[in-house]
Amino acid sequence: MQHTYAITGMTCSGCAASVKEQLSKVLGVEKVDVDLDKAEATIVMEQHVPLQQLKDALSQKYGISFKEDHLAANSEAVDKSKWEQLKPLFLIFGYLFVAAFLLNYKNWSTTNAMLDFMGLFYIVFSFFKLLDLKGFPESFRMYDPLARAVPFYDKVYPFLELVLGLLFLMRFQIQLALIVTLLILGITTYGVTKSLLDKKSIRCACLGTALNLPMTEATFIENVIMLVMALIMLFQMG
């Protein structure tokens, strides 16, 4: 007999391989096929295996449920869950805007406020990526074309963000930092856009792996804001 189950918690090909390995060890399971994009596993069994037994075989990171139950639950609360998952992203953006304003409100300068925002953006976002240098690259490669094409780029990227943040905050080599920003975020935005158009279920790596953020329009908007700021700054400097 064959059954298809919904799997939660998978963020990369490594997760899919891990789920397949763990479920394959269950007594009575003959074959397991895991589809990362659909977030599901198709299991061929010698005889019926209780769902609880499959749950017990998986590590706490992953969840398994009947496909029908999963779809019904999602149809009831997909909007709510999406907003709840994106709340950390919106909070961070709010804090960054407020911080940039407070740093410049006495002697207001839009240019300096934008530079501070961009610098703080890179510092904060690199911090979350540095929390899990092992897990970040796999998530990042799933949608960034340059990370897939250039070896070690995915591992260097968090440090690149950190350096760019320091350059903006220290007002050092700003033009170079703006050009690099347009390059790397332009490539990432292309990958994000393609993933959204293909309707792939991918975990966003903008805040590393510490927070489980879905790839959504918010990720696209986040990158576009930085790209627009970089273009404005370059235009003013030119």
Q: What domains does the chain contain, in order, with CATH numbers? A: 2-61 (3.30.70.100), 79-237 (no CATH)
Q: What is the pLDDT of residue 202?
A: 64
Residue 229, judged by CB atoms within 10 A of its CB (0-12, 13-18, 19+), counts as middle
Is residue 114 within 8 A of residue 236, CB to CB? The reply is no
Residue 228 has what pLDDT?
93
Could you tell me which of 3, 4, 12, 19 has the C-alpha nearest to residue 60? 19
Q: How many residues does the chain have?
A: 238
> How far is CA 102 from its chain centroid?
29
> What per-residue confidence (pLDDT) applies to 136?
82
Q: Which amino acid is at 72?
A: A
Q: Residue 13 has what pLDDT?
A: 82
Six-digit token pair at 161?
């963000």
Tokens of 186: 């332009």
Would you give the DSSP letter of residue 139?
Answer: H
| pLDDT for the residue 70 | 46
**For residue 132, what pLDDT is reported?**
78
SS3 158: helix
Residues 6+ apart with CB under 8 A from 178: 230, 233, 234, 237
Quote the pLDDT of residue 230: 93
Place of tokens 């939660």: 8
CA distance 59 to 208: 21
Q: How far is CA 61 from CA 46, 132, 183, in A?
A: 27, 16, 35
pLDDT at 95: 95
CA nearest 178: which of 114, 230, 227?
Answer: 230
Regions in the chain scoring below 70 on pLDDT: 68-83, 85, 200-203, 207-216, 238
- pLDDT value of position 145: 92
